[in-house]
Each structure stands twice: as structure tokens, then as C-alpha cells.
Chain A
């Protein structure tokens, strides 16, 4: 098991941002780590990548203990986040060299891997460009490739495809598949529910706890949903779900007792409107499957 967490908990004062989560991720798995804003995903991730010490519980990442061996973790993983990954005012080549250097690669290794990376991404002619000049999609792909440069056992991706065009998103996921195929374990968080389907297994966090864990197919079957989007909605609004297995609590409003560093605000759930489950509005973008409302011949586009 590349990642193992047992009862992992993190409190900030009275508030439990992560409340005893238990899961494991195997080698070469693509694991989707989902949840609403404020459900505790970011805090959990921080603990796993060695940035934050847990309050209680256990976890190992790549065999290293999250309490005592944070250095070992940092050496063995790659990390990429949407907010930041590469230095805008450095060129493509310089960024690669920087991260290669930081992770202790030799000059020869850096040279070889840079060439391979640039060829794979078809970025050779932009190698001398400052990263800020690249379109967003290319930046994200480059950032991912750089996170993999030192061939880590596990790579953590924090909303890597936000705001990127649909084609580039998919190219990105193909890169993820390739990496997984080569044996890299991938833990990814995302707001795109169709991307949840690309994962081998998925966990959904609600109010600091894991409310569901399994393959997308399993979860859809369990919650009688046609898509991961619907699964997600049912978990967050169990009043709409007929399923007795739904173990999620209604997200409660925490008293805002967050200290600095905690990004967890509980998502508020006091909707007075019944949330209408819009039929067929799955994020996969298919307008119809056979049998649903007809697309009809619209006015010519």
C-alpha cells in the first residue's frame, strides 16, 4: 500500500477539520479524493504530504510515517496544485532545472529528462520562454510533468485542471493514465465530476469524514445514480436520497472556529429550496442517452 490512513484526525481547537478518516491507496492506482469546499480535503492532503502534523490517528505515505518521517515523504512524492506550481518569471528550462536540482537529480539526469519531457509535450521551441507566456493549459501540463521529473512513487494533484479547456483537460488525464501505467500512484482532487469517473477508486469527504469510498461503478450502483455528479449530490443532500446506506451527516455549520492555516469552513447546508435534480444534467456533457428527452432538431446553430 502506497498510502495508508487509519483514523487520521486533525483538530483546530474544538473543530475537527478531518475527523478520523481511514483509507488506503495501492501502487499504480488513480485515486480521486473528492469533497465539497470545506469538507476537509485540503487539510487531509496537507497531512499526507507532510506539511501538517495530524492530531491523532496514523498514516504512512510511501512507507514513511507522517508524524516522524516527513522528510522521507517529501523526497518520495511529487506535488502539483492549481494555484501554484511553476515560477512565472523563470523559463521552462529553468523551472525544470530548478526542480531537478531541488530533488537531487544529477546534471546528466536533468539533461536527459528535460529533453524527454520537452519532446513528450512538444514544447521544444518554447523551452526558453518564460512560463508566464504560456497558455494556461500548457502550464498545467508542464507543471505535472515537472512534478514527475524525479520519478516519485506517488504524486498528489490538487485541482490540476481548473479553468482549462476541455481538450487540454483530457490530454492532462491521459498523462495521468500514462504515469499510473508506469506504476506511479496518483492522488487527485477535482471539482469536475466527470473526472471522478476517470479514477480507479474515489472517496468523498463530507464534514471531515469519508462518506463514501469505492470504484465509481460501485458508488453509482449503491446510490442508484447515473453519474458521479448525482452520487455527490445525494451524499451532500441525503434528504433527497432514498438510500439507507448513505452514511453522511448533513454538513453542519461549524462555529467558524478556524485558526490560521485551516482552510476548512464547513459548507453550509440550509437550503430552503428543494434542490431540483435536473434530469440529464450530468457533467459528462452528453445531452441524451437513449430514452431521455429528445435533443430535437433545434434552430440551426
Chain B
């Protein structure tokens, strides 16, 4: 059993009265593509900054590649690749100049590492002389990834690399991460997009400084409680309201072109539930309604686990 690439134990971080991280623990195995899934304010960036030596935790312990980010920061900094949230490279330097800078600061050159970054760099190389500020969002992300990679790190931390980028560029980016992972690189990513969770080996669902669950994506869905159905029908708005009024309803959420309905009667027979609900909806005046059982996905699990949406109680906590 190899040492985990990242080991975190009951890590806490407070900024004055605000608790950004409330005691989280997890491990990342070497060579894993590990995802942190959660909305803004969940604590993802804070966590990444601690692991990349930029912040000091208030309590708890962390080890990255066996090193202590607080005490052994200089050793760790040469081995870590980091891509912070929002595009933070130099907009007035060209693509090539940015990359050269980051290579040289780590004592290497683009040429030396070309093979490593080629899958990504080849996509932006035609624009090597363009100012980084003039690139589109997707291209910027790719450049930032190259810069994080160019010194051949042993582990990569990417903080929301796909935020604000269109769906196609996001896909391409994850394809690239897949390629990197195949080369054996440990990658830790954070993202607010639930659908990207499926592309990770394991995920940690994070919300307001706490981990809701850490598991492989499939396992997260499998652990979902209660029969889950997909419901499709006309007048979605009214349908949602009607189902919410149904006494046995536990969750009712819109999901794209359909609704996800979770019944409160866990363990009950799916067909029976479907019949029951069908009768209720007919009585409410709904015509054709399609309803079928489905397996839960990351988003279903996340919503069930997170409980009430960030209540105003957190306002009290921030005072």
C-alpha cells in the first residue's frame, strides 16, 4: 500500500469569525484524478491554498507527497503544480512568454518538457505570439494548465479550472486531464459543475466547509436513499407544485427536461409507488405523465446530503 499523495486529517481554517473549513479529512492516492465538487463558498479554494503552502491551517494536519506544507514549504513548492481560480497569468505577455517564464522560474525550458505538455500545448501553439489577455476563456485555461505543468510536478492542484468556460471547452479540458492522468500524474481538481464529477476516479462532495461524502462517483449515487424516479409531463411548473404537495414526496427537483422525484417511503416497491403517484396526478388533472425509476447521480446525492440550502443561519456564524 503506497503512501497517499495527499493526507488530510481534521483540517480547520478560520478567517476571523468565518469558518472556511470545519474539520475535513480525506486521502488522495497517487495517480488518482480526485475531484472536489461543491458550490462557491464551500471552502475549495481555501483547502487548495493550504495544500499548496499558501495558507496555514488553524487546526488539523495535512501532508502532500509526504511533506508538511507548513514546515517544508520550500521543498514542496518545487514539486507541486498549481492553477489558482480565475485566470491569473500575465495578460500583457504572450502565450510563449508566459510559459517561458514559468519554465525558467523552475529551472527548466519549454523544449525540455515539450513531450509532457504537448497534448495541451499543441492546441494553443498556433497562438504562441498572441497576448494572453486576448485569448478566449477556454484557451486561457489551457495555457494556465500548461504553465502549471511545465516544471513536471508530482502533483497538480487545479482550482475551478473550468468555471465560466463554455460546455465544449470544459469537455476538452477534462479530456486533457484524462490524458495526463494516464501518464501517472496525481491530479486534484475542484469544480462547481456536478456533471464533471463523473470524470474523476473519486470525488469529495464539499459544502460550507464540510465534506458530505468521499467516494467513487458511482458509489456516491449508489448510496442514495430512497426510490428515485424521473417524471416527465406537460406544464412542468404545475407538476412540480403538485408533486410537492403530495404527502409522500421527499424531494422534488427539476432536472433538465424532467423532474426527479424521491419518495419518502424508502424500501417500498417501485411499481407500487409509481401507481400511487400516477393516481394522484390524474386526480390533480394531469394527463400523460411518464415516470420511471432511475439510479441517482452525483447531483441527486449532493442535494440530498446538503440538507437545507445555506440558511441565513450562516449569516449569524459570520458575525
Measured CB to CB, the residues of A under 8 A from B are 35-39, 122-123, 125-126, 129, 133-138, 162-168, 170-171, 173-174, 177-178, 181, 191-194, 197-198, 216-217, 227-229, 232-233, 236-237, 253, 256, 258, 265-268, 270-273, 275-276, 278, 280-290, 295-301
Cβ of A278: which chain B residues have Cβ within 8 Å of it? Answer: 171, 198-199
Question: What is the bound-complex CA distance between A296 and B297, given in angstroms?
Answer: 12
- Looking at the assembled complex, report how far the CB atom of A2 sits from the nearest CB atom of chain B, in whole angstroms: 19
Interface footprint category on B = 35 or more
B312 touches A167 (CB 8 A): no
Q: For chain B, residues 42 to 101, give those with C-beta under 8 angstroms from any C-beta of chain A.
A: 42
- Looking at the assembled complex, report how far the CB atom of B179 sits from the nearest CB atom of chain A, in whole angstroms: 8
Partner of A168, one of B38, B169, B255, B310: B310
B257 touches A197 (CB 8 A): yes
B167 touches A232 (CB 8 A): yes
Partner of B167, one of A178, A229, A288, A298: A229
Q: Does residue B298 face the partner (Cβ distance < 8 Å to A)? A: yes
Cβ of B193: which chain A residues have Cβ within 8 Å of it? Answer: 192, 283
Given contacts A38-B136, A170-B254, contact A129 B315 (CB under 8 A): yes
Given contacts A164-B39, A167-B309, contact A271 B172 (CB under 8 A): yes
Interface centre among A171, A192, A227 (most CB of B within 10 A): A192
Cβ of A138: which chain B residues have Cβ within 8 Å of it? Answer: 310, 312
B192 touches A283 (CB 8 A): no
Question: What is the bound-complex CA distance between A272 and B119, given in angstroms?
Answer: 8
A285 touches B255 (CB 8 A): yes
- Looking at the assembled complex, report how far the CB atom of A48 sits from the nearest CB atom of chain B, in whole angstroms: 20
Q: Does residue B165 face the partner (Cβ distance < 8 Å to A)? A: yes
Given contacts A135-B310, A136-B40, A268-B135, contact A287 B175 (CB under 8 A): no
Q: Does residue B127 face the partner (Cβ distance < 8 Å to A)? A: yes
Q: Does residue B4 face the partner (Cβ distance < 8 Å to A)? A: no
Question: What is the bound-complex CA distance between A253 and B230, given in angstroms?
Answer: 42
Q: For chain B, residues 106 to 143, give those with C-beta under 8 angstroms from any C-beta of chain A.
A: 119, 122-124, 126-127, 130, 134-139
Given contacts A285-B255, A290-B292, contact A271 B123 (CB under 8 A): yes
Q: For chain B, residues 135 to 194, give those with C-beta under 8 angstroms from any C-beta of chain A.
A: 135-139, 163-169, 171-172, 175-176, 179, 192-194
B163 touches A163 (CB 8 A): yes
B218 touches A275 (CB 8 A): no
Partner of B136, one of A181, A236, A268, A290: A268
B134 touches A258 (CB 8 A): yes
Question: What is the bound-complex CA distance between A265 and B127, given in angstroms?
Answer: 13
* Nearest A-chain residue to B134, judged by Cβ: A256
Question: What is the bound-complex CA distance between A286 and B303, given in angstroms?
Answer: 13
How would residues 2 to 41 of chain B score, 1 for a CB under 8 Å from any chain A CB and 0 otherwise? 0000000000000000000000000000000000001111
Q: List 25 A-B contacts (CB under 8 A).
A: A36-B138, A36-B169, A129-B315, A134-B312, A162-B192, A163-B40, A165-B39, A177-B237, A178-B237, A194-B256, A233-B167, A236-B168, A256-B130, A267-B139, A272-B123, A273-B175, A275-B168, A278-B199, A280-B198, A285-B195, A286-B260, A287-B295, A290-B292, A295-B295, A298-B216
* Nearest A-chain residue to B176, judged by Cβ: A273
Given contacts A165-B309, A197-B256, A227-B256, contact A270 B126 (CB under 8 A): yes
Cβ of A236: which chain B residues have Cβ within 8 Å of it? Answer: 166, 168
- Looking at the assembled complex, report how far the CB atom of A24 sits from the nearest CB atom of chain B, in whole angstroms: 23
Measured CB to CB, the residues of B under 8 A from A are 38-42, 119, 122-124, 126-127, 130, 134-139, 163-169, 171-172, 175-176, 179, 192-195, 198-199, 207, 213-223, 230, 236-237, 240, 253-258, 260, 292, 294-300, 302-303, 306, 309-310, 312, 314-315, 318-319
B134 touches A166 (CB 8 A): no
Cβ of A296: which chain B residues have Cβ within 8 Å of it? Answer: 218, 222
Partner of B219, one of A136, A177, A299: A299
Given contacts A198-B254, A268-B127, contact A301 B168 (CB under 8 A): no
Q: Which 7 A-B pairs have the closest CB atoms?
A: A298-B219, A285-B299, A163-B40, A36-B166, A165-B39, A301-B223, A197-B256
- Looking at the assembled complex, report how far the CB atom of B204 sits from the nearest CB atom of chain A, in whole angstroms: 11
Cβ of A258: which chain B residues have Cβ within 8 Å of it? Answer: 134
- Looking at the assembled complex, report how far the CB atom of B231 sits from the nearest CB atom of chain A, in whole angstroms: 12
A281 touches B199 (CB 8 A): yes
Question: What is the bound-complex CA distance between A271 and B38, given in angstroms?
Answer: 29
Cβ of B214: which chain A residues have Cβ within 8 Å of it? Answer: 301
Given contacts A197-B257, A228-B256, A299-B216, contact A283 B168 (CB under 8 A): no
A174 touches B240 (CB 8 A): yes
Cβ of B254: which chain A residues have Cβ within 8 Å of it? Answer: 170, 173-174, 198
Question: What is the bound-complex CA distance between A299 and B213, given in angstroms?
Answer: 13
Question: What is the bound-complex CA distance between A168 and B130, given in angstroms?
Answer: 40
* Nearest A-chain residue to B119, judged by Cβ: A273
B39 touches A136 (CB 8 A): yes
Question: What is the bound-complex CA distance between A112 and B296, given in angstroms?
Answer: 43
* Nearest A-chain residue to B311, judged by Cβ: A135
Cβ of A123: which chain B residues have Cβ within 8 Å of it? Answer: 312
- Looking at the assembled complex, report how far the CB atom of A75 sits from the nearest CB atom of chain B, in whole angstroms: 28
A135 touches B175 (CB 8 A): no
Q: A301-B215, A301-B222 are in contact. List 12 more A-B contacts (CB 8 A).
A: A36-B136, A36-B138, A38-B137, A164-B192, A166-B302, A193-B167, A194-B256, A229-B167, A258-B134, A278-B199, A285-B299, A289-B294
- Looking at the assembled complex, report how far the CB atom of B19 sits from the nearest CB atom of chain A, in whole angstroms: 13
Cβ of A227: which chain B residues have Cβ within 8 Å of it? Answer: 256
B309 touches A134 (CB 8 A): no
- Looking at the assembled complex, report how far the CB atom of A96 sits from the nearest CB atom of chain B, in whole angstroms: 16
Question: What is the bound-complex CA distance between A129 and B218, given in angstroms?
Answer: 41
